[in-house]
Structure 1
Amino acid sequence: MVCSHCAEVLKEKLEENGFRVQKIELGELQLAETLDKAAYKRLVAVVRNNGFDIINDEASQIVERIKHLIIDHIRSGEPLDGNLSDFLSDRILKDYQQLSRLFSAVEGKSIERYFILQKIERAKELIVYGEKTLSEIAYELDYSSQQHFSRQFKKETGLAPSHFKNIKENKRTSIDQL
């Protein structure tokens, strides 16, 4: 799951199918009961029929944790206290090189690339809302300057942020499609 609305929808679907959801957050589901094999198969079917998947292996769980830490950090608007590698290592309690190799193997892109894509997607969202200047957006997304933000935005989207602001077509990509 990549958004709170997804968690709400999945919870509703699970409860409709007789599961008692104890906790559901981005990337995590806890049920109130232990499942037998038949109930587990039903759970998997409900989850998959709603566009999600169950992740049981440790590597995928770590990658999902990295994604959610990045998304939550970007949405917070707070600058990193240090660098991205320290931020992730401190929260996951693993060496960054190990996290980086694992992420690249599972996702086919680096953590840094994923981080940039998430920042650009957040920038698109903020531009579409139209409540902040490009300079404020650059600052919120922790770019060293508006010029650096504009260069990276143009590199990723093919458009300058000011041009993007003026177009009227669908401007955003779902987070789960990144």
Structure 2
Amino acid sequence: MKYYIKNMVCERCNMVVKSELEKLRLQPLSVDLGEIELQEELSPIQKKQLDSKLQSLGFSLIDDKRSRLIEQIKGIIIELVHHNNSELKVNLSDYLTTRLPFDYNYISNLFSEVEGRTIENYFISQKIERVKELLVYDELTLSEIAFRLNYSSVAHLSGQFKKITGLTPSHFKNIRTEKRKPLDRL
């Protein structure tokens, strides 16, 4: 049985949730970004216990279908930007429709309605956060970062970065006072 969890956005989140499931004697078949799969369906009492524990850790179970779909979309985008750089070369709408059993117009409209911003805006926010991370690591040039994140040029990356953060990438790299944001706060 699959369950969806809000704010589960990184590998560390996966480890924390898996640990809590095991403490509750629930053996997960899988634990992925925003999603857990258990062998059996939870009883109402187990579900309440799990949700209570998850909420104390900043997560929560998602019951309605629309919220589950939004969390799936976010999880796919986070995975794409932060873990699957090579797949960034495909069109986002095509990528999402290959991963989800819905028409892009439907998921795009639903996302905008529920989140108050577009999927593309969320995607850009994730990419800029990844750029910040790579700038702080100081291992790649701006050109290499632009290439890795599939920007058409350094100028395009710089323009988007400045629009979102108010700083140029080089200024950000020099002052590093603009702290990175947690992925679930984007």
Q: Do the two structures share a fold, i.e. TM-score over 0.5? A: yes
User: Any stretches of 5+ residues in structure 1 without a counterpart?
Assistant: none
Question: How many equivalent residue pairs?
Answer: 178
The offset of 1:74, in angstroms, is: 1.4
Identity %: 49
Aligned counterpart for 1:55 among listed residues 62, 65, 81 = 62
User: Any stretches of 5+ residues in structure 2 without a counterpart?
Assistant: 1-7
Alignment correspondent of 2:10: 3
Rounded to whole Å, the distance in 2 between the matches of 1:168 and 1:100 is 34
Rounded to whole Å, the distance in 1 between the matches of 2:11 and 2:60 is 16
Higher relative contact order (CA 8 A, sep 6+): 2
Alignment correspondent of 2:75: 68
The offset of 1:84, in angstroms, is: 1.4
Alignment correspondent of 1:144: 152
C-alpha spacing 1:71/1:58, structure 2 compared with 1 (3 Å)? same
The offset of 1:111, in angstroms, is: 0.2
The offset of 1:19, in angstroms, is: 2.7
C-alpha spacing 1:133/1:81, structure 2 compared with 1 (3 Å)? closer
Alignment correspondent of 2:5: none
The offset of 1:82, in angstroms, is: 4.1
Q: Is the 8 A contact 2:172 2:178 kept in 1?
A: no
The offset of 1:71, in angstroms, is: 1.4
Alignment correspondent of 1:85: 93
C-alpha spacing 1:107/1:134, structure 2 compared with 1 (3 Å)? same
| TM-score, reference length from structure 1 | 0.92
| TM-score, reference length from structure 2 | 0.89
C-alpha spacing 1:148/1:25, structure 2 compared with 1 (3 Å)? same
Aligned counterpart for 2:114 among listed residues 106, 114, 121 = 106
Q: Structure 1 or 2: larger strand share?
A: 2
Matched, 1:40 2:47: yes
